Structure 1
Amino acid sequence: MTNGVAPEGGGPRATGARSVAARTIGVAVTGDNARVVMLPASAVRWAREVEAPPGAGNLPESASGVFVGRQDELAELRRMLTDQGEAAVTQISGVRAVHGLGGIGKSTLALRYAHTYRREYTLVWWINATSTEQIVTGLAGLSSWLCPQWAAIAGVQERAAWAILWLQWHPGWLLVFDNVEDPADLRHYLGTLPDGHHLATSRIATSWHKIAPTMALGLLDSETAVDLLCTLAFGPQHTPTPEQRQDATALAADLGHLALALEQAGAYLYETGTSLADYRQMLGQVMDTAAGGIDPERTIARIWHQNLTAIEHRSQQAVTLLHAMAWLAPDDIPRSLLAPLCPNPLTLGEALGALYAYNMIAYSTDRQSLNVHRLVQTVMRHQPTDSDGHLLGRQDAEHLIRHATPDGDTDPSQWERLLPHVIAVANSTPSRNPASTKIADSYSAAADYLGDQGRNAQAIPLYKAALAQYEQVFGDTHADTLTSRNNLASAYQEAGNLRRATALYEINLAQRKKVLGDTHPDTLSSRSNLALAYQEAGNLKRATPLLETALTQCEQVLGDTHPQTLHSRQALASAYQKAGDMERAIALFETVLTQCEQAFGDTHPQRLGSRNNLALAYQEAGDLKRATPLLETALVQYEEVFGGTHPYTLTTRHNLALAYQEAGDLERATPLLETTLAQRKQVLGDTHPHTLSSRNNLALAYQEAGNLKRATPLFETVLTQCEQVLGDTHPQTLHSRKALAYAYQKAGDMERAIALFETVLTQCEQVLGDTQPQTLGSRNNLALAYQEAGDLKRAIPLFETALAQYDQVLGDTHPYTLICRNNLARARRAVQSINKEVQQPHQQRSSLSNRQRAIDHPMWPQ
C-alpha cells in the first residue's frame, strides 16, 4: 500500500459506494449512517491548510509501559500495512489457536507499532472503536486538536466530518481503531479514506473477510511471559532469585501467558507485596482487581464479562456451554461431549459460533473439538452462584461426564478422549455443590479403566474423588462406600504406596466386621486384602496368621472349593513362598491346582493361573524340570483359550522365558522375551508396567549373554519410563534402578553403580521401612558393591546390619538370611586374606567376589 496523494489540481478524493466529498464550497461527508454534513467554506479551507506538527498523535500510555517479545509480529504487521492493501486488522491468537481472546495484547502490539513508526506518518490518531458513536467521537477529537478555534463552536458530527476532510487533504497518516466490536463499522471509513494506514484491533474473529486482511497474534512464549511478569512484579532493576523465577514460571502458566493478565498480576504484586505463590492461590478472586495504574474497566474479568454480555444477546445457550466447559479440561473438548446440553445440532452450532466469534473458544483443525483458555476457565469458575447457591456450570459439567461415560467393553480411544475431562471435573470438585453418586460412578469407571491399563497412579485421584462422594451421600459404612475405599486401597497398593493401602484396608476390615460380621464374604475378602498388603510390605509375621484365619473361615463358610477359598489358599501359599517355606508353599499350590482341575475344567482361567503359580514356585525352589513343562503346557492352553496376544498369554510366555533364562538357556529365553516385549508394546502400550517388566528382563538376558552394549541402554530406558509412569519411589522403579546399578557394576563403572545402589537403599528405607525385605536386599547389594570397589571398611558393617535384620525378620534359615551370612563370611575372609598378603606380599590372593550372591535380583515375573 502507498500513501495516497490528491489528484493534480487539488481536492479530496471520494471513493467507495457511499462516499461523498467536496472541495471548497462546503463538504458533504458520509459516515456510518450515510449522514450528509455540510461544512462552511472557512472550515473547508482550514482542513486544507492546517498542517499537523511532526510526530503528531494522541497515543495512550500502556498500562505497564513495558513491552517484551513480539518482534516477529511487529515486523509482520509492518509488512502487511506497507505491502498489502490499505488496512490491516490485528486479531488475537490464544494458545492452541484461540483467536482474538480479550487481553492477549492486541492493543499493546498496535501501540508499539504506532510508537515505533510514528515518524513515518504525518499523523497517528488512536480511536476507541467499540461503537459507531465512539468512532465518530474519536474523529471529532482530531478536529478539536488540529483546529480548536473552529471546533469549539461545532457539533460532534461536524467535527468528525472536518476530520475526514483533513485526512483526505493530508495523506500518509495512521488511524488505529482499537477494540472494534463490529467490523462493518469500519467499511465506510476505509472507503472514504484511502490515503493512509488503518490498523484495527478486535476481539471478534469473524466477519473480517470483506473488510481487511487479518493477522493472528499468538500468546507470549513462556520465557517472554516470565520476563514480563518478573519485571512488573519486582521492578526492572531487580534480578529474580531462582526460586522467584520458578514461582513466576508457574504463575505465568496459570495465567496462560496472556499479556493483560500478566500486566494485571505484576501491578498487583508490585503494589501489594504479595508473593507469587499466594497470588496463585487467590487467582480466581483477583482477576477483577485493578492496581498500579490498571484501568478498572480493563481487567481480565471485566473484559470477559463484557464479552459474555454480548454473547448472551446472541445465544443464551452459548453462555450455558461456556460455564460447563469451565470445569472440563481446556483442550480437545469434543463437540459430541457437549451435545446433551444442546441436542439440536443447529442450536449447538449457533452457540459455539457465538463463542468463537468472540474468541472465547478455538476449533481444532477438523472442527470436531474445541479449546478454552485456562484463564477463561478460572474466571468462569468464580462467577456468582445460581439461585440455589451452586456454582454455575458445575452440575452441567457433571451431567456431560455421566452421559459420556462408556458402558462395558469399550474402544479404548473413547476412554482416552474422555479421561482428561473426567480428571478435570474430579480434581475441581467444589465443597459447596451437592455430592452425587452418579458422578462417583463415572469417576470409579474411569479409575477402573486406568487400573486395567496399569496406570494406577492416575487412578488414585479418581478413586479418592469417588470415595468422597459416596461418603457424603451414603455415609462411612455403606456397602458402596466400603467397596470404593477398597478400590482406593488397591490402587495405592498397585502404585507402590503400601502405607496408605494398609491403613485403608485396616479401616475397611474393621468396618466390615462391624457392619457385616466376621465371616461375611466381603469381610473375608477385606481380611485377605489386608494380609496381602502386609505380605507385600514384608511383614510376614502379620500377614501369615491373617491369611491362615481367612482360609479357615472361607473353608467353613464358603466351602473347600469355592473360588474365594481357592484364592485364599493360593494367597497363603504365596506367603509361605515369600517366607522361604517352599515345602508348604508348593504343597498348597499343588492342592489349589488339583481343586481347580476338579472344579473348573482343564482350560478355566483360574486353573491356568494356578498352574502358572505352581510353576513359579517350582522355579523358585530350583526345580526347573517340573517348572518348565508346566509353563509350556500353560502357554499352549492360554494361546488356545485366549489367543496369542491376550495379556494372560503374554504373562505366561514371559514367565516361560524367565524359566529358560534361569536354566541358562538364553537361546530360547531371549527370542521369547523379544517377542513378548514387541507384543506387549502393541497390546498394552510402551509404558505399561508389564511392558516395562519385559524390557527389564530382556535387558537382563542381554546382560547375562555378556552384551552390555544392548543391555545398559535398555536398563536406562526402563528406569526413565518407570520414573515418569510409576513415580520415583515405586517398588518397580526401585527394582529398575537396582538393575541399572548391576549393569554399571558389571561394566566396571563402580562409581555410578555405588551411587545408584546408595540411592536405592535410601529410598527403600524411606518408602518401605528399614527392615522390609527389599530394603535388606538393597543393603546387602550395596555392601557387595563396596566390597568389589575394595572398600571393605564400609562393606562389612552393612553385611552385619543386614544379617541381624534378616535373622529378626525372616528367620535364621530363610534363603536370603543364608545368602547374607555367606556374603559376610566371605568378606571377613577377604580381610584376612588381605592381612596375610601384607605379611606375605608374593602370595597370590584368590578372588571371592564371584562366589558371593546379590539378593533380590531384579527379574520381574509378570
Structure 2
Amino acid sequence: MTNHVSFGELLQGLRKKQKISQRVLASKIGVHYNTIWGWERGDYLPDSKGMVLELGHQLYLNDQETRQLLEASLTALSPHWLLPFPRNSFFVGREKVINQIHDFITHDHKDITSRYCSLSGLGGIGKTQTAIEYAYRFANNYTAVFWINAETYNNIISSMVTIATQLNLPEKQEQDQEKVTAAVAHWLINHRDWLLIFDNIEDPALVKRFLPPARSGSFLYTSRRQSIGLDARTLNLEPMTLEEGMRFLLRRSQILEQEASLDQLSPREKLLAQEIVTAIDGLPLALDQAAAYIEATRCSMADYLHLFQTSQVRLLDERDIYADHPMSVTKTFLLAFEQLKRRNSAAVELLIVCAFLAPDQIPEDLLVKNTHMLGPTLQSAIADPFLFNTAMKEILSYSLLQRHSQTSTFTIHRLVQTILRMTMDEDAQRQWATQVVCMVNTVFPDFEEELSHYAQAQLYLSHAINCASLIQTYNIISLEAGRLLSQTGSHLIDMAHYTQAETILEQAYILHAQLQGPEHPEVAFNLNDRAEIKRLQGKYTQAETLYKQALTILENTLGFEHVRVASTLNNLGLLYYYQHKYEQAEPFYHHALAIYKIVRGEDDTHVAMSLNNLALLYTRQSKYAQAETLYQQTLTIVEKNLGPDHRRTATSLNNLAKLYYLQDKYEQAEQLYLRVLTIHKAIDGEDDLQVSLTLNNLALLYTRQHKYTQAESLFQRALQMRLQLLGPEHPRTAQSLSDLASLFLEQKQYAQALPLFQQALSIQEKVLEIDHPDRIATLERYQQLVAAIHKEDKTHVV
C-alpha cells in the first residue's frame, strides 16, 4: 500500500512554511477559519479545483507545489471508500482506544485472530463515532474501507448492495441478494488489506453469515453487547474523562475555538463546564445534546446547568435535527428498556434496584442477602445461578450494566439511572426507594461492630450515602431509615468526613425525634455523635453542650450504670483532655472505667479503652511510669480479646510507642511503630488514613533523631495520602503540612518551610477554632520561623 502525504498534511506544511495562520488564510480566501482547520485535519476536502488553486495563489506556491496540492485533493482517500458519514470535526479523546484498535487489527499481525476488534458499550457512548474516526485516521493503511449497517438482516443486505455498486461488480443489478452477497465476499477473498466495519451489531449470528470464508483484511465491529464472539477482541468504551468532556462540550457549543486551550477559559467557565460534564457523567451523546442546546439557544452554561438540575429529563429528550445520532439520550435508553422488558422481567427488576443505588461498585451480595425483599421473579433468578446469569446476559447485551467478576460488583451509568426512574410514577419511585433503603440498612454494619466489619462498611458506604439522598427526596420516615443514617454518620466520622457526617446525622436526629420522641436513647446517641464532630473540629463549647444533653437523656432512660452512659462520660473526659484540662478530664475517665468494669468485667475491651485514655492523660502530665503500666494492661486485654494483628492492638502499640518516643527510647519506639505500620497495611492496604498517621509518627521520631532525609520522605508520603483521602482543606492535611514545615525549620531551610506553614495556617483558620491546640502549635512554630528569618536578614545586613 502507498503511504502518501494526505491533502491536510500537505496543506498544513505549506501554510506553516509561509508562516501564515489559519485565520489569515481563511480571511484571504473568504471562508471561516474552521474550514481551514477541517481541511488540515482531513475532515473533508475543498469542493472545487478552483478553491485548491486559490489556496495555492494565497500561499504563494510554485507550479510544482500547486500541482502536488491538486493531486493530494483528488487522491485523499482510497478509491474503494464507502463510509456514509463525514469525519466529526469535534471528535476528541479516545486516543488509547484508537491506538488499541489499530494494534489489534493491523495487517502486520501474523496472528489472524488479531484482525478482529469489537467496540462495546452503552448506547450513546461513542462507539460509532470512534469507528468513524479510526477509519478516517487510518484510511491510507487500507486498500478499501467499507461500512455495513449491521442492525438488521435487511440493513446488511442493503449495505452489501451498496458495496457491490461501489466496486462496480457485474452482480450489482442482481435481484437475487444471495448472489450480490456472494460477489462481495468473492471480491474480499481476492483482495487484501481492506477494512470492513460492521456497525451496531444486534445479532452476532446474523453477521457471521456475511463474513467471507477467507479473510485477508481487517474487521471492526460496534455493538452494545459486551461480548459478540466472532473471534473479536473487545474494547469496552468508558465515558469521557473530565478533560475530554470539557473540550468536546466547549468546542461543540462554539464557546471555545477548535485550536484553543482550556487555559483560555475563566475560572468560572472552567468550573461550569466541569459541573456539566460531571452531571452528565461523561456520556458523549448527552454532551453532544447539551452542546447543541447551548449553541442553538445561545443560553449560558450556568443557565443550562440550572435547567439540567431542574428539568433533566426534558433536556435529555432534546435532539438536534442535524445530529449524527438518530435518537436522543432518553429515546435511546427507553428503547433498550422496552426491548429488555420483553425479553427478561428479572433483568428489568435487577436494573431498577441498581437505579436507586450509587452507580459504582454495586455488590451482588446486596441482592443475595435481601432476596426476601425482592419480587418473586427476581427472587427465583437470584436463587438459581443459571437464571441469574441469563438475566445478566440480557442486561449486558444492551450494556446497561457493567459486571465486574473479580469483585462481584456492578456499575451503572448515572443517566441510565435517571431515565429508568423517570419511567415510573412518583408512588412507584417512592416504593422502590424505600425498598432499597431497607436493603442497604440490612447489610450495613453497626459502628460498634466496625472493627470486625470495617471492610463491609466500606463496601456499602457509597450506597448508604446515596440512601440519605433517597430518604430526603422521597420523605422516607422509618426506623430503618433512621438507623441507616445514624450508622452512616458514625462511619463517616471515623473516616474524618466531618461535614458530610454532620449533615447525615442531622437528618437522623429529625427522624429519631419524630418517631421515638426527643428523650429517646437513640436521640442521645445522635447528640453524642454530633458532639464528637464538634470536638474533632475544635468547637469545644458546642461539643460540651451536646455531650451533656446526651448524658442527661441516657442517665434518665438507661440508668447510671450503663455502657452508653460510660461512653458519654469517656467522651467528656476526652473533650477536656484535648483542651489540656487534665484535672477535669481524670474523674470522667475514672467514672467511665468503674462503670465498664461493673457492666463488662475486668478484661473487656471497653475497660481497655478507658485504661488507654487514662494512660494518655498521664503521658501528658509526664507521669510516664503510671502511663506505661496502663498501656501494658491495655495491650494485654486487647491482644487477649482481639488478637495480635487487630486494629485496636495497633492503636495500643502506637500509644506505647509514643510514650517511648517522649522518653527518648527511640529504638523501642521505632520497633513498635514499624509493627503498627505492618498491621495497618495488612488490614487497610498501603493507602489508608491509619497508615498515614503511623508514617507521620515515624517521621517525627526520625526528626528527633536528626534522620532528616528519612523523615522528609515519610512526611511527604503521609501528606500525599491525606491529600488524596481527605482533600486539601482538612485538619489532618494541615497537620502534615505543619509537620513538614517544622522539619525544614529545624534544618534552617526557611524558604521551604515558609509556604508550608502559610498553607497549613490558611487551612486551620478555615476549619479549626482559634483556640485549637493544633492551630496554636502551628502558629507558634510559624512565629519561630519568622523570627529566624528576621534574625538571618539582620545578620546579612551587618
| Fold match (TM-score > 0.5) | yes
Which residue is 2:84 aligned to?
60
Q: 1:631 to 1:399 in 2, by over 3 A?
A: closer
Q: Confirm or deny: 8 A CA contact 1:635 1:649 kept in the other structure.
A: yes
Question: What is the total number of aligned residue pairs between the two structures?
Answer: 691
Q: How far apart, in 2, do the equivalents of 1:577 and 1:738 lie?
A: 22
3-state secondary structure, aligned to 2:175: helix
| Alignment partner of 1:229 is 2:249 | yes
Moved more, 370-379 or 53-62: 53-62
Look up the SS of the partner of 1:293 in the other structure. coil
Match of 1:273 in 2: 298
* 1:131 is aligned to 2:152: yes
- In structure 2, what residue type is equivalent to 1:158? Q
Verify the 8 A CA contact 1:86 1:196 in the aligned structure 2: no
The match for 2:366 among 337, 348, 351 is: 337
2:429 maps to which residue? 390
CA displacement 1:658-712 (0-9 Å, x = unmatched): 3333333334444334434434444566566555444333332322222222223
Note if contact 1:311-1:354 (Cα within 8 Å) is conserved in structure 2: yes
- The answer to whether residue 396 in structure 2 is matched with residue 356 in structure 1 is yes
1:705-716 mapped onto 2 (5 Å cutoff): 705-716=705-716
Matched, 1:489 2:530: yes
Contact persistence 2:240–2:283 (CA under 8 A): no
Residue 443 to residue 623, structure 1, CA distance change in 2 (3 Å) = closer
Deviations, residues 699-726 of structure 1 (Å, cap 9, x unaligned): 3232222222222322333333334444
Question: Aligned equivalents of 2:272 and 2:322: distance in 1?
Answer: 24
- Report what 2:780 is aligned to: 780
Tell me, yes or no, if structure 1 residue 380 matches structure 2 residue 404.
no
1:521 and 2:578 are equivalent in the alignment: no
Q: Contact 1:638 / 1:648 at 8 angstroms: preserved in 2?
A: yes
1:322 to 351, 362, 382: 351
Question: Which runs of 5 or more structure 1 residues have no equivalent in the other structure?
Answer: 2-52, 93-98, 513-517, 526-557, 794-830, 842-862
| Paired residues of 1:180 and 1:202 also in contact (CA < 8 A) | yes
SS of corresponding position for 1:330: coil
CA distance, structure 1, for counterparts of residue 542 and residue 723 of structure 2: 25
Separation in 2, partners of 1:224, 1:261: 14
Deviation digits for residues 720-741 of structure 1 (CA, Å, limit 9, x no counterpart): 3334444545444444333222
CA–CA distance in structure 2, aligned partners of residues 82 and 628 of structure 1: 69
Cα gap change, 1:279 to 1:476, in 2 (>3 Å): farther
Cα 1:689–1:76, aligned 2, differ >3 Å: closer, same or farther? closer
| Matched ranges for 1:103-502 at <5 A | 103-112=124-133, 128-136=149-157, 158=175, 160=177, 164=181, 167=184, 177-190=198-211, 201-206=222-227, 208-209=229-230, 213=232, 215-216=234-235, 218-219=237-238, 222=241, 224-234=244-254, 235-236=257-258, 238-240=260-262, 241-242=264-265, 243=267, 244=269, 247-248=272-273, 251-252=276-277, 254-276=279-301, 279=304, 282=308, 284-285=312-313, 286-291=315-320, 293-294=322-323, 297-339=326-368, 340=371, 341=374, 342-344=378-380, 345=384, 346-366=386-406, 368-381=408-421, 383-386=422-425, 388=427, 390=429, 394-406=433-445, 409=449, 411-427=453-469, 431-432=473-474, 434-449=476-491, 451=493, 459-460=501-502, 463=505, 466-467=508-509, 470=512, 474=515, 477=518, 479=520, 482-483=523-524, 485-486=526-527, 489-490=530-531, 492-493=533-534, 496-498=536-538
8 A contact 1:337–1:400 mirrored in 2: yes
Secondary structure of the 1:297 match is coil
The answer to which structure has the higher helix fraction is 2
1:311: how far off? 1.6
**Is 2:635–2:653's contact at 8 Å kept on the other side of the alignment?**
yes
Structure 1 residue 417: deviation in Å?
Answer: 2.8
Secondary structure (helix, strand or coil) at the match of 1:343 reads: helix
2: CA distance between counterparts of 1:206 and 1:753?
Answer: 56
Are 1:324 and 1:392, in contact at CA under 8 Å, matched by a contact in 2? no
TM-score (norm 2): 0.70
Question: Counterparts of 1:87 and 1:608 in 2: how far apart (Å)?
Answer: 63
Any idea what the Cα deviations from partners look like across 1:823-851, whole Å, max 9, x if unmatched? xxxxxxxx9xx9xxx9xx9xxxxxxxxxx
Question: Which letter maps to 1:233?
Answer: S
Partner of 2:99: 72
Following the alignment from structure 2 to structure 1, what is the Cα–Cα distance between the partners of residues 316 and 524?
Answer: 42
- 2:547, 2:505 → 1: CA distance? 15
Q: 1:414 to 1:722 in 2, by over 3 A?
A: closer
User: In the alignment, is the contact (CA less than 8 A) between 1:63 and 1:293 conserved in 2?
Assistant: no
Alignment of 1:544-555 (within 5 A): none
Distance 1:309 1:639 in 2: 58
CA–CA distance in 2 between the matches of 1:633 and 1:362? Answer: 51
C-alpha distance in structure 1 between counterparts of 2:745 and 2:726, whole Å: 25
- Specify whether residues 293 and 735 from structure 1 end up closer, same or farther in structure 2 by C-alpha distance, changes over 3 A only: same
Over alpha carbons, which structure has the higher Rg? 1
Q: Does 1:722 align with 2:743?
A: no
Partner of 2:700: 700
Code of the residue aligned with 1:265 in structure 2: it is A
What residue is the counterpart of 1:855 in the other structure? none
Give deviations 1:509-564, integer Å, cap 9, x for gaps. 77x8xxxxx95436799xxxxxxxxxxxxxxxxxxxxxxxxxxxxxxxx66x7777
Q: Tell me, in whole angstroms, the C-alpha distance in 2 between the residues paired with 1:456 and 1:134.
A: 57
For 1:343, the aligned partner's letter is Q
Please say if residues 631 and 655 of structure 2, whose CA atoms lie closer than 8 Å, have aligned partners that are also in contact.
Answer: yes
Deviations 1:186-208 (A, max 9, x none): 45444699999876543344554
Per the alignment, residue 32 of structure 2 pairs with: none
Letter in 1 for 2:527: N
Q: Do 1:86 and 1:198's aligned partners in 2 also have CA atoms closer than 8 Å?
A: no
- Per-residue deviation, residues 78-97 of structure 1 (Å, max 9, x unmatched): 537998889987633xxxxx
Deviations 1:285-318 (A, max 9, x none): 3222112622673223222222222222211221
Match of residue 91 from structure 1: 118
Structure 1: how far apart are the matches of 2:661 and 2:529?
A: 36
Uncovered stretches (5+) of structure 2, i.e. residues with no partner: 2-76
> For 1:745, what is the secondary structure of its paired residue?
helix
1:787 Cα shift? 2.0
Q: Secondary structure at the match of 1:363?
A: strand
Moved more, 428-437 or 782-791: 428-437
Name the CA shift for 1:654/1:129 in 2 (closer, same or farther; >3 Å).
closer
Match of 2:118, SS state, is: strand
RMSD: 5.0
Q: Please tell me whether the aligned partners of residues 715 and 739 of structure 1 are also in contact (alpha carbons under 8 angstroms).
A: yes
Q: Secondary structure at the match of 2:235?
A: strand
Aligned counterparts of 1:403 and 1:593: Cα–Cα separation in 2? 33
Hey, what's the Cα distance between the residues in 2 that align with 1:600 and 1:220? 53
- Amino acid across the alignment from 2:742: Y
What CA distance in whole angstroms lies between the structure 1 residues aligned with 2:584 and 2:141?
A: 94
The separation in 2 between residues aligned to 1:649 and 1:380, in whole angstroms, is 47
C-alpha contact (below 8 Å) 1:463/1:484 kept by paired residues: no
Change (3 A) 1:372 1:715: same
CA shift, 1:404, in A, is 3.5
AA at the equivalent of 1:371: T
**Secondary structure of 2:427's aligned partner:** coil
